[in-house]
Structure 1
Amino acid sequence: MTCDLELRDFRSIARIVNLAHRFNCRCTRVDATATDDTTTAMFAFDGPALALSRLRAQIDRLMLYEERLTRPPS
């Protein structure tokens, strides 16, 4: 499984790698480029199909959390 993500917090790279380990998946590749405001990252993971789908769900939750954290108040 691969994921191309735009992260607002560069520490999320470590969070995602740790999530992969927690779900018994291997992170086989990480490429990241940082700017002042965002980090663009590409991840590749290997593991059982069920574990990968659970990992993807947690990554999606992390992305929603980041979006809510950085959204300007209304």
Structure 2
Amino acid sequence: MASERILSKVAEEQKKHALNVAMATTAAAEAAVAAAQAAAEVVRLTGAAESCQRFRKFDPNLAAIRIQSAYRGHLVSPS
């Protein structure tokens, strides 16, 4: 009887651990997707900024502002 309870507790702890690992893996994958999307947006915006040289004269931080805006928009958009 006691050994069955111990085995049951061990099995329950293993299930909890597996669930925590799965949740952490999911969070890491979602973060990787967000990072990849942000990187793609950086590439897109950098190309756009290079084609609009006149804007750099007025605001040297334009690319950073656009990147931040796109990333913030990504954070609030539904997945």
Structure 2 length-normalised TM:
0.40
Q: Which has the higher strand share?
A: 1
- Which is greater in Rg? 2
- TM-score between the two structures when normalised by the length of structure 1: 0.42
